[in-house]
Amino acid sequence: MKTISKLFLYIMCLSTTLLTACAQQSDNSKIVTITKDSTKMNDEQNLSEEELKKKLTPEQFHVCREKGTERAFTGKYYDSKEKGTYKCVVCGNPLFSSDTKFDSGTGWPSFYAPMDTSKVAEHKDKSYGMIRTEVTCSKCGSHLGHVFEDGPQPTGMRYCINSTSLELEKK
Ligand SMILES: [Zn+2]
């Protein structure tokens, strides 16, 4: 009789542990859904990578979220002279003005300055055996391109950006 009650206790403990583990798991999956708050409809920085994968085209996902690079002279904006604001394709953050766009001859849209230095973030990038400065959207962290110090005046900077990461809002 004693053995049976001990066994019963043991099973009770075990099932409590299992139940707690299950409860924790469902809590975790809830967090992902809660981030899609209706008050933040246009704020894509809270979308999970899985949700972004559904929202973006495969090329946009590769460039913006996996730090890919579009082939030179293939993007839709490298040659564009249209006036407007280039926004982050993922979150809509206004990044560059057509006023600072120049023809760099590289095959990628190039700007000598961002709309505001707070709109972009810069990071040291040592990939591919080079030391470069990566530029990302300060709001959602999406990869945009790189910045080099061989641009025209007044800044001398060249923000070399993938068309794929941008969406032009025409003036
Ligand atoms: Zn963004």
Q: Which pLDDT band holds residue 168 (cuts at 50, 70, 90)?
A: very high
Distance from the alpha carbon of residue 56 to the mean position of ligand 1, in angstroms: 12
pTM across the whole model: 0.74
Question: 71-105 pLDDT, tens per residue?
Answer: 999 999 999 999 999 999 999 999 999 999 999 99
Q: Answer whether 109's CB lies under 8 Å from 161's CB.
A: yes
Cα distance between residue 150 and residue 78, in whole Å:
18
Residues with CB under 5 A from ligand 1 (ion): 88, 90-91, 93, 137, 139-140, 142
Pairing of strands 101-102, 158-161: unpaired
> How far is the C-alpha of 116 from the C-alpha of 120, rounded, in Å?
8
Closest by CA to 14, choosing from 26, 6, 2, 24, is 6
Tokens coding 170: 């025409």
How does pLDDT run across 111-141, given as a tens digit for each residue? 999 999 999 999 999 999 999 999 999 999 9
Mean pLDDT (whole number) for 149-158: 98
- Give residue 161 CA to ligand 1 midpoint distance, Å: 13
Residues identified as active-site: 160
Report the separation in Å between the CA atom of 17 and the middle of ligand 1, taken as the mean of its atom positions.
42
